[in-house]
Amino acid sequence: MKELLYLKDDQLKDLIEKIFVGYRETFSDSKKILDKYSIGLAHQKVIHLLSMYEGISISKLLAKLKVTKQSLNRVLKDLIKLEIIVFKKDEIDTRIKHVYLNEKGKKIFEEIFLLQKKRIYNALLDSSSEEVINFDKVLKKIING
Amino acid sequence: MKELLYLKDDQLKDLIEKIFVGYRETFSDSKKILDKYSIGLAHQKVIHLLSMYEGISISKLLAKLKVTKQSLNRVLKDLIKLEIIVFKKDEIDTRIKHVYLNEKGKKIFEEIFLLQKKRIYNALLDSSSEEVINFDKVLKKIING
DNA sequence: ATAATATGTCAATATAACTTACCTATAATG
DNA sequence: CATTATAGGTAAGTTATATTGACATATTAT
């Protein structure tokens, strides 16, 4: 954007609203499935990360979620009750706990993801690969702020 | 993306995580200012929309926020106590209430926005105008699902 | 031996939202 | 004019998610 010399506040406000709405809609499509298993948005996020990062440690999960361990533990306890996660101690450093979705957990994730990904999938399908690459690029820059 | 024939689940998972992180970071930069006025994220969103849509009606505000009116009213009462919003009845249909930020409200919004926009501003500044246009395009497609 | 790290837990509180129910005022429509 | 719809408000109780602060245990690193 250097060539434009300025970025108008109105454009920035508009983008901020869109980031909010995009997030909200992306994480509300799968609500029916969450209700089916009596879990919520916090559980969905944890399951999502467990699917992406199999065997992630508690501290890394905390770092990705940016919540306190008290908050995360409530969610993990619910997922244990649901019988969808398992833990394995690190073989070298036994303080570290690795968290995994079991088969049931993976199935439930697929149920959630099937609904959630539709919105993104359709948006990308309707875009050129360059548009998609640029979307990803800018989003990454926003995150790395 | 039609030319690619498929979109991998891993790419979609990654984007969904980024959408979450992008939202969270975008709405956490201004926390210090919110604390200063003893308000929270819900208030920030309302103030943001009032800055974008001056004189918006209650029902349109509700539609944009997608919350219940009980929830919105808690926030509006706090903003009234803070003395930063005013109402004007619609001249034609007096059932309709238009909501405005007053001068104090506009100043507080600017304080919040100054911190919040930096992240987006820098990301856009570091991008080509085509990247920015494509980011906006894809985000719009995600929203309009 | 001591300090740091990884994790867990108890208790209290805060924030933002929800459901259910009911209310007033005004406008639109037959 | 009577009825219905719309715009908005309110009360009570509840839920979801997160916080702070304090403390505890096991293990690893120095």
Which residue of A49, A118, A135 is in closest CB contact with B135? A135
Q: Given phi > 0 = left and psi -120 to 50 = alpha, else beta, which region is A54?
A: beta
Tell me what pLDDT residue B40 has. Answer: 97
Per-residue pLDDT of A10-69, as tens digits, reads: 999 999 999 999 999 999 999 999 999 999 999 999 999 999 999 999 999 999 999 999
Among A6-10, B69-73, B141-145, where is mean pLDDT lowest?
A: A6-10
The answer to whether residue B61 sits within a structural domain is yes
The answer to whether residue B5 sits within a structural domain is no
CATH of the domain at B73: 1.10.10.10
pLDDT band at A145 (very low <50, low <70, confident <90, very high): confident
What is the Cα A108 distance to its own chain's centre? Answer: 15
Distant-in-sequence, close-in-space partners of A52: CB < 8 Å, separation ≥ 6 = B10, B13, B14, B17
Question: Which residue of B lies nearest to A124 if distances are taken between CA atoms?
Answer: B1
Per-residue pLDDT of A88-101, as tens digits, reads: 999 999 999 999 99
The answer to whether residue B62 sits within a structural domain is yes
The tally of CA atoms less than 13 A away on the side-chain side of residue B111 is 14
The answer to whether residue B67 sits within a structural domain is yes
B5, pLDDT greater than 60? no
Distant-in-sequence, close-in-space partners of B62: CB < 8 Å, separation ≥ 6 = B68, B69, B72
Tell me what pLDDT residue A101 has. Answer: 98
Asked whether residue B93, judged by its CB, lies under 7 Å from any atom of the DNA or RNA strand C, the reply is yes
The answer to whether residue B132 sits within a structural domain is yes
The mean per-residue pLDDT over the stretch B79-102 comes to 97
The answer to whether residue B15 sits within a structural domain is no
Number of domains composing chain A: 1
A5, pLDDT greater than 60? no
By residue count, chain B amounts to: 145
Tell me what pLDDT residue A66 has. Answer: 98
The answer to whether residue B3 sits within a structural domain is no
Tell me what pLDDT residue A3 has. Answer: 63
Question: Which residue of A lies nearest to B21 if distances are taken between CA atoms?
Answer: A143
The mean per-residue pLDDT over the stretch B46-72 comes to 98
Tell me what pLDDT residue B121 has. Answer: 95
- C1 C1' – A72 CA distance, angstroms? 34
Higher pLDDT, A87 or A7: A87
B97, pLDDT greater than 90? yes
> How many residue pairs from chains A and B have C-beta atoms closer than 8 A?
181
d(CA B145, CA B80): 35
pLDDT band at A4 (very low <50, low <70, confident <90, very high): low
The mean per-residue pLDDT over the stretch B18-32 comes to 97
Tell me what pLDDT residue A7 has. Answer: 83
* Domain ranges, residue A24: 2-144
Average pLDDT, chain B: 95
Within 10 A of A101 (CB to CB), how many other CB atoms are there?
20
Q: What percent of chain A has a predicted confidence (pLDDT) above 70?
A: 96
Higher pLDDT, A5 or A17: A17
Å from B97 to nearest chain A CA? Answer: 22
